[in-house]
Every structure is written in structure tokens, then in C-alpha cells.
A and B are shown apart, each in its own frame.
Chain A
Amino acid sequence: MDRGIGSGGAFAWFFQRISGVFLLIALLAHFWVLHYSNNGDVTFNLVAQRLSTPLWKTIDLTFLVMAIIHGFYGFLMVIRDYVHNHNLRLVLVSLVWTVGIIVGVLGTLTIIAFKAPGGGGL
């Protein structure tokens, strides 16, 4: 019988809670900054200028990493719950990791490389 001894899960569970709290606060902050801090006047230039600053790049990178880990760990949980075939599980877990890493790398490149049109920022 597969008793799963030693495979753990404590850190993943704990980190899911931490990232969940972070995302809750970050999402509320995101809504406030985007929709209320400028009287609802959202323009491309405004967002571009903000995303060009090192502080916002750091905040968005953290947001991205936390959201990816939180979301893709959720996928892994569903696979662990319902997929008991070893080979199928290996394929699906590999797929989740691959897609997660691709999304993470693309998002990171986008944030780091972003420059506001007409100069300014990094």
C-alpha cells in the first residue's frame, strides 16, 4: 500500500496560507491604486510611468511570483487528490511545472524589460 511516507506537504500548505494572505492584501491594494487613487482616471501613460519605477517592478514581480506559486500549487493539489495513476500524474505534474515556469519567465521578462514610451524609468 502506498502510504506516502516522507513526501511531506507541511511547507507547501503553510506557504499556500502565506501567499494567500499576501495576495488578498496585494489585490486590495491593486484595486485601490488602479481604480481609486486617481479618481478612476486610468490611462496607459499613467500605468506605464508607474510600471517603469523600480519600486513597482519589485511589487509586481512579488505579486507575479506569489500568484503563480499559489495558483499552480492549487493545480498540483487537484492532481494529488484525483489522479492516482503514476504515469498520468507524472505527465500532469510535469505539465503544471512547465507551464508555471514559462508563465513566470515571460511575466518576469515583461516586467523587468518594460520601459515607458518616450523614456523615463529603468
Chain B
Amino acid sequence: MTKAMYRYSAFDKQFVNERVAQYRAQTERYLAGELTDDEFRHLRLRNGLYVQRLAPMLRVAVPYGTLSSTQLRALARIARDFDRGYGHLSTRQNVQYNWPELKEVPDILEVLASVEMHAIQTSGNCIRNVTTDEFAGVAADESFDPRACCELIRQWSTSHPEFDWLPRKFKIAVSSASDDRAAIDVHDIGLRVYRDAEGERRVDFRVGGGLGRTPVIAETIRSGLSMRHLLTYLEAIMRVYNRYGRRDNKYKARIKILVRAMTAEGFREKVDAEWELIRASASELTDAEINRVEAFFTPPSYPVLGADVLAAGESSLNAARLADPAFSRWVANSVVPHRQPGFAAVILSTKVTGTPPGDVTDVQMEAVAEWADRFGFGEIRISHQQNFVLPDVPVAALNELWREAVAQGLGEPNAGLLTNIICCPGGDYCSLANAKSIPVAEAIQQRFDDYDYVHDLGPIDLNISGCMNACGHHHVGNIGILGVDKKGEEFYQISIGGHAGHRHRSAAIGDIVGPSVSRAEVANVVGRILDIYVEHRTPEETFVDTVRRLGLEPFKERIYAAAR
């Protein structure tokens, strides 16, 4: 069965192999003392290698979150052979290893290259892995599969001669669905891609969104550009940013600061003037190239199921749900509508109490790969919520999959709910962190372990970051928790009302509810916030709707009145 995935050309293969050789030579020169720490730092970062608190951390690119079962098995092998038997799903749809040996990284890259993968530009001040909707290609609400657009950007941005040494890291996200699951409003560039009434593929460009120290919602600077102009318009944006973005202060170096300083209108004028001079260049995409890349993402040939088969599948699903409330709960939040009748997409939650959010063992990776082959077409996704997604599961197989997922610790019925916490590695691993984040996630999961209560609360995104850099996306958590350092002690600042822009709500940055609290207090404060929500909500409201309607005051009063 042909997967709906990009496959490397001979050119891609050669390029990635050359990149491995280049990085191997850089590592050897560093180990031989021929490269300074600072010089090697910039070089290794462009290949995903951080030096962390305890060991190096290698971030592997999973382009736009799509993996084949073969690739996932290779990731499992790397976890076993080069790490401590596990890996970590990141909030940018990548996979990270926490314990590789610096000198073995070139060997890991070789394993990756053998399955058409790499770690190129997964860190450093360059264009990072492009992210998208984890349900791309199967979502019922999508205009077209955005992954071809992502792949075109991946190729264009790989070792770009001019844009590999930017003022700061640069993140691009693409969405083609009516519900934005890619958080395009909080990226350096967010692209909305769609077909217009005539069927022409078009792109809206948003720029200057981002989290970190200065959270900002992106502004649209160009709407309705033909897909042919995708790369030239990106080039114009990047050139303006590369030349004028601040380089004197890394906290003011992201494009959002430049856009704010120039105003969105001023930035747009500059970009448009630049683009007019390059729009007709050889970098203008051809229809042949767009079609070539798009052809890789042709949907698999789903079996056409008759009405009687579909009805039988539905009724057996309903019977199984009635017979088993635990299964029913899982179906309610982990099974996602599919564009193909008789199929569903399934979220496999990594958020099990006692395991750091996003961590998965080699055994779990192998199991997911096997399910992808057995139930689907050998394809897996990683979501920015740090879960696996199986994009193609027959409805009739859901119960069987669920039983096996539960046995593997991947059947937690909490997708979209309070305990499906987005969480960075935090102070346990990361040298940038001000505070630990994993124990906070665990304390919250332990406190809210009543499934019925958590389900009754409805959709809530609780996001935790161990520092300002906001890898845990705390600003756009409906409840956001940020680790801060106060005179050497770990404290946590709590915000509410943030939103990443999915579930058909506008993206928003959360508001801080008051003074930061100790680690022991965090779960109590969350509990009080939820009490207020439960008291005040109307039947059709989600948590964030209630917060938006009530404003901050009722929460502030109660949280801190009780804490006194």
C-alpha cells in the first residue's frame, strides 16, 4: 500500500547523506580540539544537538509531524541503542532524545538518514521544522492537505544560503482546516492555505506571532496569494527580517519585535516592495513542482464500504460503548471524525500519571508502528499536544485498538482534557529552565484522577513551561503555568484564558491571575479555578468561554482569598 507521504528523491537522499558526513567531520574536529566551544555550539545546534543539564539532547526532525511505521521503528531502535530506551514527543511535532553521547550523534544521524530522516535545523537561529495540523489529509474540515506546502517549505528552507544565520530561531506553521489545530497565530509565520472558488490554491500570510518572553498574536500581511508565490513571498519576509531584525539582544530578536517596531503595515510595505523585485524570479513555483510534491500526499485507496457495512460498524461500536464505559469515554475524546466514511483518526495519549508528558518508550513506539501497519496504511502523526495520532483506523477496529493501547499505556482517555497536559522537559533536563515542570504535571494529574470529573469539565488545555522560553506554550493554555525563579526558589505563575486558536475560538494570550505560588500550591490553585468555572458555566460553555465571559476578577478574588 502506498503511503500518503513524501518519499526522498535521489537528490534528497544524497543531500541528507552529505549532511551527515559534514556533521561527522564537525564533531571530529571539535573532539580533536580544532573547534572552539562557541563555534561548535552554532554548528551542532543547526543539527539539533543541545548540551543540557545532564547530557546532550538530540532533536530529530519529524517534518510536519508525519512518520511512517518504518521511521518510527528506527526511532525505537535509536532509543534502545543510543539512549535509555525512550524518546520524547515535542510540542513542535519532533522527537527528542535526552541521553545520547555526543560522539555517537553522527551514527544516530546515519540511522536516521537510512529511513529518510534527519535533524537538520531543529535548533539554532534558522528556519525550523515546519509544523501543521496533526490530522492533515484526513480531517473532515480541511480545504486540502497542507503537507505538500510544508514539504515545499522544508526543501526551500534546508541549508538556505542566505537564511541559515538569522537573528533568532524561526518557526513556520501551516493550516488548511477551518479549525486551526496548528496554532498558526502564535508562530513567526503562520500560513493559511485553501482553495478558492475556482479551485486555485491560495495562501494567507500571518507574521509576528509567538510566545516566549513577549507573547504576540500574529497579524495578516498578505491574503490570497497564489501558491506559486509561496517561496518568493517567504523569501521577501525572510530577507527583511534577516537584515533588520535585532541582533543586539536575543530577547528582542524574534520577528514579532521587528513587526511591532515597524508596525504590521510598515512591515508589509517593506516586504511587498522586496517581493515585487523577486516575484518573477526562478524561485516562483511551477505548477509541475506543486503537483509533483502534492502527488506524494494522494490519499491511500480506502476500501469503499457499503451502507450495510458502515451501519454494522456503527452499531457494533455503539454496542461496545454501551457495554464498557471506559471504552466509551476513550471514544468520546480520542476518536476524531475522518473524511472517509467508516474510518476514524485516533489520538494515543502519552499523558499517563507518573510518566513525563510526551515520553514514550521503544516498546510503545514499536507497538504504535505495528498498529499503524495493521489497522491503517503504515502512517503515524505526532501532535503538538505531544501525543501520537493514527490517522486511519477503521471504525470496526476501534475496540481492538483501544484494548491494546490501554495495555501499552497509550489508552488514557484524556485527549483534549485537563490532564492531557502540554509540558516542556523543564528543570529536570533543560539547562534554560527556571523551575521543574514534570513534577507539576504529575501533581495535577494525581489530584484530578477522577475521570468523571475531568470529563465533565469538558475541553481544557493546561500547559506548563519551566521558563520564559515557553516551550510548553503556557501563554496559550486555557490554564497556563510558568516556572519562575525567585531568589533561587522555584515558583509558578498561573494564567487563564489563553487559547491556541483551535476549537473554533480565536487565539489569545492568557492573563496572569496573581502572584506566583509554590509548587505545592499549584494543584490547589488549579482546583479553585475549576470550582469557579463549574459554578458559573452555562451548559454550552467550555472553560475558556466562561473565563472570557466572566473576566479575571471573580477568579482573582477567590483564588487569593482562599490562599490567605
Bound pair (A, B): no
| Residues of B that sit less than 8 Å from A by CB | none
